[in-house]
Structure 1
Amino acid sequence: MLRHEVYLAQQYRGYYYLSQKIEDDLYGDEQALSWNELLDDYQLYRDRKGNLSIKPKG
């Protein structure tokens, strides 16, 4: 992974973090989702430093 240029890219780290959060939340309860369904249930947040996070709506 260190050999690839995307490893240190801020945007890539944000997407990787989001994918891990989604996986943690959905673990053990697998079902296919479309992006629209996913975005209906989750909200993306960006803090002042530009870090992305995802949280269930509600």
Structure 2
Amino acid sequence: MIEPEPVFGDIKNNRGFKRILLQGLPNVGLEVGWLSLAHNLLKKAAVDAKSKGVKHL
């Protein structure tokens, strides 16, 4: 089972994103998609850095 709450907590607290900036369902979906993409890319970069032995990104 996957829990989505830690992802939203990370985006809000660690990335500083507090509110949706655009209006309208298509725009909000796009903005959330960009946030999800950024979160997943940062997570992938951290995993890759850990496997290569890099201490910090």
RCO (CA 8 Å, sep 6+): is it higher in 1 or 2?
1
Q: Which has the higher strand share?
A: 1
TM-score category (smaller protein): 0.3 to 0.5
> Taking structure 2 as the reference length, what is the TM-score of the superposition?
0.37
- The structure whose Rg is larger is 2
Q: Which has the higher helix share?
A: 2
